[in-house]
A and B are shown apart, each in its own frame.
Chain A
């Protein structure tokens, strides 16, 4: 079991509406806090493999892993500002995106 530099989660875009989704314990979630966290390379590879299968099944597109930091409650927060943006919505329109629904 090889260690990751940082824990990772799997992001994608939902095919039908393009919204950002996160692979959770039992499928795609719209709230990143519910994302399944990979803590080593094997777990990350498993997430990626699931993602590829989901692409093949035409449920999602643009699947990739992103580094996260874990809060005290274990909830993941992306480390890069690009993914920080994706879990919320546009920083210039707080009334739009996931943040508008209070998910971020």
Chain B
């Protein structure tokens, strides 16, 4: 049986996404019914807020600055057109006509009413979606490379593993009340697009000398107030041992992870305090002692899951499209889009398209319901009805024929979705910050917008090249500022919003945490500071050198000196 088996066909469904079985569907429906009853009891006064809070968080519902917020899971970032349309319908019916795609491959609604949330969850369940484990001290929504299954540098599609882990971790009785939240990311490629080095557990699919597939397991990475790059706990865990090995890691963390201080309750602190060797030994001891029979690997089950992610029925096409070549020459704006937002595909004649949700001056990650519907339609016309959400807060169309790229671009351009800035200086990751989030200490979106406007000239952006700017509105670092080439952290200083700049962060296999540039600056100063840094980089860079490479070669001190010279005495920058 494969994903293309007609017996699996369902309306409007692509062939490359997981399909719930009866157990999955029943489980989600039961959770909705359970939550509906909990909401009813809350509104009737039979549950206090303290009693209700854990229930709502287990269903992704937060109370934020202006309203409730519902966080919907998009497992490993994969969406069908039907699901995207449902997200749009919910945005219109129960929210304010838009949604916000996050750095964890989720979608957040910013204005739902408590009374409506059971209906929203029911609408999601109808299209095999939910908000389970998008909050709380459990294993969160497993994330993965957004180019999964189509990247030329891929060893194996990571989504089968991610789905395997989703099934293992969903409602796991032992790990539903961990010391803190727990995040797992998976990549199957030579280049890490899933930021696995800064997750609680990062998995890289690897092949050993015998040609067997397994996993390099990284543990103890994370951002937040104490950022750490993860450490390799095992270079190779065979697939057959993966679940048992992860179970052993989780048990060690659950047992020894600190619970006395929520800020020190993450596995990164355990790894930091004990050292990776001691943690590795503890995991090995647990692994040796545990009853592994319950985790016995069934290759047929893994293959069953993997079959859902089989390649769609691609056509046999020439590697290079003449139609594309001609259109690039004839339409320079389209040519620029292809140069920046289109990536190579593993299948001849196809391409991967990044649809930027970062229009110049826009709100990073926001999409209106109309845009969601247009993207759903685009995916059906040009990509087997499948979409991906990236942790960079963009939407990916993973299976576009090169011959169709021009028509797709015209469709996107007409809807304001063709900004050719993927990976460039205005493709800024930004958390919602104090415009929405109750934890934030400063705004982040307006800073992103100001930087985007400052660098609005897309030809200038292309000259600057790949440069990741990431902004967080508080120390919790949802905007991943620690792993930005240029990071911005919003804080409160003497009752005012203040922004700290970091340089040299890297979210890939060569991960590094950015270094603080100096004292905080005002929001108004941030674009100036970044422009000075970019100008210095352009003056110093060698042929083909990205910002992070120049920074590493030239050194932090010289970047800092440039800004010191720009200020009166360096005190304000």
Residues of A with Cβ closer than 8 Å to B? 13, 15-20, 55-58, 61-62, 80-82, 85-86, 89-93, 96-97
Whole-angstrom distance between the alpha carbons of A17 and B436 in the complex? 15
Residues of B within 8 A of A19 (CB): 66-67
CA distance A16 to B443 in the complex (A): 27
Q: Could you list some 30 contacts between A and B, CB below 8 A? A: A13-B67, A15-B43, A16-B113, A16-B115, A17-B68, A17-B113, A17-B114, A18-B66, A18-B67, A18-B114, A19-B67, A20-B66, A55-B49, A56-B48, A58-B45, A58-B49, A61-B49, A61-B63, A81-B434, A81-B497, A82-B434, A85-B434, A86-B66, A90-B445, A92-B435, A92-B446, A92-B449, A93-B435, A96-B96, A97-B66
What A residues does B446 contact at CB under 8 A?
A: 91-92
Q: State in angstroms the CA–CA spacing of A96 and B67 once bound together.
A: 11
- Point out the residues of chain B lying under 8 angstroms from A96, CB to CB: 66, 96, 111
CB-based nearest A residue for B497? A81
Q: Is B544 an interface residue (CB 8 A)?
A: no
Contact of B417 with A by CB under 8 A: no
Q: How large is the interface on B (under 10, 10 to 19, 20 to 34, 35 or more residues)?
A: 20 to 34
Chain B residues with a Cβ under 8 A of chain A: 42-45, 48-49, 63-68, 96, 111-115, 363, 434-436, 443, 445-446, 449, 495-497
Q: Which residue of B lies closest to A90 (CB)?
A: B435
**A-B residue pairs, 8 tightest by C-beta:** A90-B435, A18-B68, A18-B67, A58-B45, A17-B113, A92-B445, A61-B49, A92-B435
How many pairs, one residue from A and one from B, have CB atoms within 8 Å of each other in the complex? Answer: 71
A16 and B43 form a contact (CB under 8 A):
yes
Smallest Cβ-Cβ distance to B496: which chain A residue: A81
Given contacts A20-B66, A58-B42, A85-B435, contact A91 B114 (CB under 8 A): no
How far, in whole Å, are A58 and B434 apart by their CA atoms in the complex? 26
Task: Say whether, besides A16-B43, A90-B435, A90-B436, A62 and B63 are in contact (CB < 8 Å).
Answer: yes
Structural contact, B66 and A90, CB atoms closer than 8 A: yes
Question: Which partner residue on chain A sits nearest B114 by CB separation?
Answer: A16
In the assembled complex, how far is the CB of residue B458 from the closest CB belonging to chain A, in whole angstroms?
A: 22
Closest chain B residue, CB of each to CB of A91: B435
Residues of B within 8 A of A20 (CB): 65-66
The answer to whether B114 touches A15, judged by C-beta atoms less than 8 angstroms apart, is: yes
CA distance A26 to B146 in the complex (A): 53
A89 to B114, CA, bound (A): 19
Please give, as numbers and ranges, the residues of chain A lying within 8 Å of B115 by CB-CB distance: 16-17
In the complex the two chains form, what is the Cα distance from A15 to B445 in whole Å? 27
**CA–CA, A20 to B171, complex, Å?**
33
Contact B43 A89 (CB under 8 A): no
| Contact yes or no, A18 B42, CB < 8 A | no
Residues in A with CB closer than 8 Å to B42 are 15, 58
Measured CB to CB, the closest approach of chain B to A32, in angstroms, equals: 13
A-chain residues with CB within 8 Å of residue B449 when the two chains form the complex: 92
Which of A16, A56, A85 makes the CB contact (< 8 A) with B65? A85
Residues in B neighbouring A92, C-beta threshold 8 A: 363, 435, 443, 445-446, 449
| Chain A residue at minimal CB-CB distance from B444 | A92
B435 touches A18 (CB 8 A): no
The smallest beta-carbon distance between B41 and chain A, in angstroms, is 10
Which residues of the other chain, A, contact B64 by a CB distance below 8 angstroms? 18
Closest residue of chain A to B53 (Cβ to Cβ) is: A61
A93 to B496, CA, bound (A): 21
Contact B445 A80 (CB under 8 A): no
